[in-house]
Amino acid sequence: MGSVGSSIAYAKRPAPRDVLELLKPITWFPPMWAFMCGVVSSGVGLDGRWLFLFAGILLTGPLVCGTSQAVNDWYDRHVDAINQPERPIPSGRIAGNWGWRIAVLGTLLSALVAWLVGPWVFAATLLGLACAWAYSAPPLRLKTSGWIGPATVALSYEGLTWFTGASVMAGNLPRPEILIVLLLYSIGAHGIMTLNDFKAVVGDTATGVRSLPVILGVGPAARLACLVMALCQAAVVALLMRWGLIIAAGLVALLLLAQIALMPRLIRNPARLAPWYAARGVTLYVLGMLAAALGLGGYL
């Protein structure tokens, strides 16, 4: 960072409200929801584990997810200057190398809290943090790949946080059934991450980010995203039925059918309707996650 210059090193400390905006609290919900699914799927009661539960929520939301947002915004500051110049770093509200400092501090704090919770949570957190840096930072900068980038985020947001929730409650490696379902929902979330790329096609094209909407085209990328989401949920339904969790399987199937009914409209104009589908179809997707978790936990 020394090459950045003394004017950057001694930039004014950012205001707390700008730091909070950098950490994007609205993005904390998906991993916290997946964490809750992990807690429920474990089937373990909360008695005596409230402190671990609080630590897990803190990890998956403000700490690891917030840190990933800071890392992404720091290394994307030139892209954001095109797509969203009002963000804290390109707008100058978080000046100098404060964005990088916040990302490093969040990484260290996340690792410390995870280490205090337990070995499996610590391992999952380190993997999540590694994914966050590899996704945004050179030399890997996985986000430049429309295939690997969304897969990395999906694994971190859905799979690792679900794993963390189940591990926090069980105090051990989750059951194989839980691992299979969280993996399927992580793969399906690749489609959700692809939908998020539609808003940045212009900036991604200009800066060499090869998202699926850029390399495949908007229409084919939308169709692929829908196919991935649908097939993974169909596999979850089949597995739940095989395991005798009929009510959970039925709920996931109904929620999948509702998503499929919305997909034709999305495909007609994905660039404009991706936010519309995210508010409806993605909501149905995550409700299906909870239904599957309830079944795995023995509540359905």
**pLDDT given at position 3:** 42
Identify the domain boundary among 110, 143, 172: 172
Mean pLDDT split into 10-residue runs, the chain, 300 residues: 46 89 93 95 86 90 96 90 88 92 97 92 94 93 88 92 91 92 96 84 72 86 95 98 98 98 94 90 96 96
Residue 150 CA to residue 83 CA, distance in Å, equals: 19
Residue written as token pair 């373990």? 44
Q: Are 300 and 247 in contact (CB under 8 A)?
A: yes
Residues 166 and 182 in one domain: no
- 1 within domain boundaries: no
Pick the closest to residue 252 from 294, 206, 213 (CA basis).
Answer: 294
Residues 161 and 195 in one domain: no
Q: In which domain, by residue range, is 126 found? A: 11-172
* DSSP annotation of 173: P
- 83 within domain boundaries: yes
Residue written as token pair 């800066």? 207
Number of domains the chain contains: 2
What is the reported pTM?
0.88
Residues 39 and 164 in one domain: yes
Residues 189 and 230 in one domain: yes
Q: What angle do CA 284, 152, 157 make, to 5 degrees?
A: 40
- 2 within domain boundaries: no
**pLDDT given at position 291:** 98
Query: What is the domain-level CATH number for residue 67?
Result: 1.10.357.140
**pLDDT given at position 207:** 66
Angle between helices 270-296 and 246-268 (to 10 degrees): 180
Side chain identity at residue 151, one-letter code: A
- 93 within domain boundaries: yes
**pLDDT given at position 1:** 44
- 3 within domain boundaries: no
Phi-psi sector, 59: left (phi>0), alpha (psi -120 to 50), beta: alpha
**pLDDT given at position 6:** 43
Identify the domain boundary among 172, 195, 224: 172
Residues 86 and 109 in one domain: yes
- 6 within domain boundaries: no
**pLDDT given at position 7:** 44
Residues 232 and 141 in one domain: no
Residues 157 and 258 in one domain: no
2 CB neighbour count, 10 Å cutoff:
7
- 108 within domain boundaries: yes
Residues 39 and 159 in one domain: yes
